[in-house]
Structure 1
Amino acid sequence: MLDLALAGFIALVMAIGFRRPFVWVLAYLYVDILAPGKMGYTIMPAIQISLITFLAAFAGWMLADPKKGARFTLRQGIMVVLLFYCWWTTSNADFPEFAATKWEWVWKALFFAIFLPLTITTKLRLESALLVMLLSVAAIVISAGIKIVLGGGGYENNLFFVNDNSGIYESSTLATVAICSIPIVIWFTKYGTIFKPDWRVKLFAAALIFACFLIPVGTEARTGLVCIAVLMVLALRDVKRRLTFIVAGATIVFVALPFLPQSYYERMATLGSTDGDESASTRLAVWGWTFDYANENPTGGGFDAFRGNSFTYNMPIREEQGNTMAVEYREVTDEGRAYHSAVFEMLGEQGWPGLFIWLWLHALGLWQMERIRRKWRKKQGNGEGEGEEWVAPLATALQYAQIIYLVGSLFQGIAYQPYVLMLIGLQCALWTYSKRLHAVAAEKARESKVRESDTNTKPMLGSPSPAHV
């Protein structure tokens, strides 16, 4: 029954796409984030819906989209360079079979992020893409939040639609994505037009934000707690009453503390020290190994190059002996440990050139969003940009989402996370759209000056013309 419902819904969306091909782009966003192919048992896994929607989105744009206003940006060019560089390192990978498996989804995520801005040429399309992405994440977050409230959650517990600990369904990844989506949710409560921001939208948004905050608690993902702290710091930039905001936030935290499970406290306690925590200890060892490996192999070892690591370290083990706590150091040998950091993931797999490209891509995005934010706020302050009040807040929301992701990615190997690459694509689209708006406004200003100049130089009725003077 579940297969039929999912297949029927997707078939309906694909049918609508024959009349509005951009719907196929939205269909791919939905499919790639939510992964309905993993939810079914018979029909959905067999029809390869991700590939179908991917091809439909591209073919629909090529054959039927007017392409008016589509521009290719510098950041898209950077992603093209990264795409071909990853292809080259994959062909020379240390572990070809594993590298080929990861390449199968990485190239598609990068290619779609490059392609997405070309399809988004209007505000309606930009908002539609952002809304579909947000609601797809919301479907996962809300269902997981309900399970957390009813069952209490827990580290590595199955809280999601699928029994799969990869992609967005990995607990730390979902915690990061959930928190970085909150600024976008807030933007829709003020500037959304598809769903007017009335009391129903605001009520749903408040519930969704609460569910997003539940994800780090229910999954006991330490990265999620760090992302929440980053979000709170970023929020101080825009709130009018900062002291009130800080006091309110602290009050909510103190009220919530008694309701948190003991297992959450125990797991969060490992944030401050690596002693006694094998996960944190191995991360430091892997990062050291990766740095040395990159110095010996400057161009990286291709995808999953971490499978070649091996290291030995002393692990402190605490044991209770009566009323005292004894600490014993045991030698631990580990190998094939993942990077647990997007920075070291890029460094180990793509070397120093790949890491530079990746950092350049994100740094340029932060700069572009900041430029849009300041330029359009200045326009609104001068009484310009009427009807475009949404531009600066959206740039801020996308910038905050990216910052939260970047902080969270320091502790996870999510350098190629498709959802984040989609956000980068939307940033490129917003950058192009804002430049086009600015060009139109400048052209109108020039025309207005020309008309005023013609009016001022036109001879008054009854006055002698220049020819008679």
Structure 2
Amino acid sequence: MRDLFVSAVIFGLIPFILVNPVVGVLTWCWLGFMNPHKLCWGFAQTFPFAQTVAIATLVSLMAWKEPKRIPWTRETKTLLVFTLWMFVTTFFALNPEGAWEQWNKVWKIMLMTYVTMMVMNTPKRIHMLLWVTALSLGFYGVKGGIFTLVTGGQFIVLGPEKTFIGVRGGIALALNMTIPLMRYLQLTTPQKWIRVGLGAAMALTGLAVIGTHSRGGFLGALAMSFFLIMKTRRKFFYTLLLAATAYGILSFMPSFWAERMHTIETYEEDGSAMGRINAWLFAFNLAKDRPIGGGFECFRGWLFDRYAPNPNDVHDAHSIFFEVLGEHGFIGLGLYLALILMTWRSAGWIRKNAGGDSRTQWLADAASMIQVSLVGYMVGGSFLGLAYFDLFYHLVGIIVLCRVLLERHKAGEDMAIQDYRFF
């Protein structure tokens, strides 16, 4: 029954997608982040819904009467060069079969990032995109928070299998990136009952992060919470609220959770942590020996024999930065870091130039909270190999759109910049 329901919803949206690609982008976003088909038990789990929606969206885009322009900013140019560089490293990959399979996933993420920037180019569409993103991942935050409460934190919160959030580190990272987006929606929503609901969702999502038992997620939550206080309005109130919430959560969790978090300080005695360091050194040695890196899916035992300090301790990258370094070399890492830095600086520019004006304050709030999301991504991602997580590139695209809107507004163009709410 669940398979039929999800299939009916998605196929029921196809006619609307063919008429308006905005619906297609929102549906793609929902499928990519919530993965509703992965919650089914039968045929829907493996049916190519995302591919179907993407094709329908591209067909709709070709027939769309609105102008079709990619905003060519420093971020979009760098992303394009990074994507082309990944193709080059795939062509010369040491693990060709695995590399081409991964490339087939990554280029689709990049393509839909550009489609998103072409289509979601008005204030209301950006706001809708942020709502769909926050609700799609927030579903697992609320669900995971309730699960942690009911079970007393004894069991691990996980996302759907065979997805980016199917492991505890992955879902912890995604939820840390989602909490600031919920805060943005709370800041820009006039209805009190929605703001209260979002506040409860943020608290439950924070509890779900703790419930993943992920040490990287815990560190990401600490960093994200600190920057959330620094970047949001009503800092003193939220400092007290977060402190009280954190105390309640930490007091609630079982003793073995605290013991696991304590191993952060004694990583030398932890085999998992030392395995990560071995994988990082492997990536560095590989990139030093091979400037183009090893290509996608190069963290393999036969290559550890050649490049790892301990060839018998084979691990995945366990870091977005060392993943890119090992797979795409120092050039790839430079492009990736440049993309992060450019996005951060553009968000800072938006925050500086949009704040204080009631017409553009929502842009300042969006940029501030996306910066907080990026902190959660960078800190949590330092211990997890999710360099190609589509949420990161999604947020890059949203910052690009916000900057373009603000620049047009400052240039005096009439673009109804206040027309962004749909509640």
TM-score, normalised on structure 1?
Answer: 0.82
Aligned to 1:211: 204
Query: Displacement, 1:227?
Result: 1.5
8 Å contact kept, 1:216–1:222: no
Whether the aligned pair in 2 keeps the contact of 1:174 and 1:215 (CA below 8 Å) is no
**Residue of structure 1 in register with 2:144 after alignment:** 144
> Is residue 364 of structure 1 aligned with residue 342 of structure 2?
yes
1:180 paired with 2:177, answer: yes
Find out whether 1:338 has 2:338 as its counterpart. Answer: no
Q: Equivalent of 2:304, from 302, 309, 327?
A: 309
Q: Which runs of 5+ in 1 are unaligned?
A: 314-331, 444-469
Task: Work out which of the residue numbers 298, 319, 324 in structure 1 matches 2:291.
Answer: 298
Q: 2:21 touches 2:119 (CA, 8 Å); kept in 1?
A: no
CA distance in 2, matches of 1:242, 1:137: 25
Q: Indicate the SS of the match to 2:411.
A: helix
Q: Deviations over 1:325-370 (max 9, x none)?
A: xxxxxxx862431111111101000001100000011100001110
Summarize the Cα distance change of 1:51–1:263 in structure 2 as closer, same or farther, 3 Å threshold.
same
**Which residue identity does 1:295 align to in structure 2?**
K
Matched, 1:373 2:345: no
Could you report, residue by residue, the CA deviation over 1:423-457 in whole angstroms, capped at 9, with x for unpaired residues? 111111111111111112699xxxxxxxxxxxxxx
Deviation at 1:246, TM superposition (A): 4.6
**Larger gyration radius, structure 1 or structure 2:** 1
Counterpart residue number, 2:369? 397
| SS at 1:99 equivalent | helix
Match of 2:168 among 167, 171, 182: 171
Of 188, 192, 197 in structure 2, the residue corresponding to residue 191 of structure 1 is 188
Which residue is 2:51 aligned to?
Answer: 51
183 and 159 in structure 1: CA distance in 2 versus 1, 3 angstrom threshold: closer
In 2, the alpha carbon distance for the partners of 1:50 and 1:398 equals: 25
2:389 is the counterpart of 1:417: yes
d(CA) in 2 for partners of 1:416, 1:422: 11
Q: Which moved more, 1:30-39 or 1:134-143?
A: 30-39
Paired residue type of 1:23: V
User: How far apart, in 2, do the equivalents of 1:65 and 1:426 lie?
Assistant: 22
Structure 2 partner of 1:7? 7
**One-letter amino acid of the structure 1 residue matched with residue 184 of structure 2:** W
Q: Which residue of 2 aligns with 1:456?
A: none
Q: Deviations over 1:395-449 (max 9, x none)?
A: 1111111122112111111111011111111111111111111112699xxxxxx
> CA-to-partner distance for each residue in 1:92-121, whole Å, 9 max, x for gaps?
111111112211211111222222111122
Residues 7-86 of structure 1: pairs in structure 2 closer than 5 A: 7-45=7-45, 47-67=47-67, 71-86=71-86
Change (3 A) 1:241 1:78: closer
**How far, CA to CA, are the matches of 1:202 and 1:241 in structure 2?**
15
Distance 1:134 1:221 in 2: 21
8 A Cα contact 1:7 1:43, kept in partner: no
Q: Quote the sequence identity (%).
A: 24
1:254 is matched with which residue: 239, 247, 252?
247
Mapped partners of 2:297, 2:246: distance in 1: 39
Note if contact 2:232-2:365 (Cα within 8 Å) is conserved in structure 1: no
1:184 deviates by 1.4
Deviations 1:238-285 (A, max 9, x none): 467766655554444334433211121111011112132111011112
**Structure 2 CA distance for partners of 1:364 and 1:296, relative to 1, 3 Å:** same
> What residue in structure 2 maps to residue 354 of structure 1?
332
The separation in 1 between residues aligned to 2:361 and 2:106, in whole angstroms, is 36
| Counterpart Cα distance in 1 of 2:235 and 2:64 | 50
User: What is the CA RMSD across the aligned residues, in angstroms?
Assistant: 2.4
1:201 aligns with 2:201: no
Q: Which runs of 5+ in 2 are unaligned?
A: 416-423
How many residues align structurally?
A: 412
Distance 1:355 1:376, change over 3 A: same
Contact 1:347 1:354 in 2 (8 A): yes
Do the aligned residues in 2 keep the contact of 1:141 with 1:215 (CA within 8 Å)?
yes
Structure 1 contact 226–408 (Cα < 8 Å) conserved: yes
Please give the alpha-carbon distance, in whole angstroms, between the structure 2 residues aligned to 1:335 and 1:93. Answer: 22
Give the counterpart letter for 1:373 in structure 2: R
* Conserved? CA contact 1:148–1:159, under 8 Å: no
Name the TM-score, length of structure 2 as normaliser.
Answer: 0.90
Find the residue that maps to 1:305 and give its secondary structure: coil
